Amino acid sequence: MTLVDTHCHLNDRRAFPDPVQVVDEALSQGVARLVVVGVDTESSERAVDLADRFDPIYAVVGWHPNSASEFNPSEMKRIEGLLGHPKVVALGEIGLDYYRDHASRED
């Protein structure tokens, strides 16, 4: 059986200051691939950087609805540029999280 972590945030520097250790631990436990998900432009860029550094890591880029109030349409060019990267596997974190109250429905 191949294990894949389909949604992780190794791009969160506060939670994972040393992603090398976490990747090594995951691999030692049988996780073959990790998908690091961006929640805004900066974290999306970091996800792609991690995918470049580590063979088993792939990236998802996008903006989480919780950050919608901080979104600037000019960010889309940067996100679109990341979509062409060979290890970006999806455009994500783009759903409507109405059950959380982090951004208005208008945003």
- For residue range 92-105, list pLDDT tens digits in order: 866 666 666 667 67
Q: Is the pLDDT of residue 1 over 90?
A: no
- Give Rg (Cα) of the chain: 14
Length of the chain: 107
pTM: 0.88
For residues 40 and 62, what is the distance between their CA atoms, to the nearest angstrom? 6
- Condensed to tens digits (0 to 9), the pLDDT of residues 5-30 reads 999 999 999 999 999 999 999 999 99
For residues 23 and 13, what is the distance between their CA atoms, to the nearest angstrom? 14
Q: What pLDDT does 95 receive?
A: 66
- Condensed to tens digits (0 to 9), the pLDDT of residues 60-84 reads 999 888 777 788 888 889 999 999 9
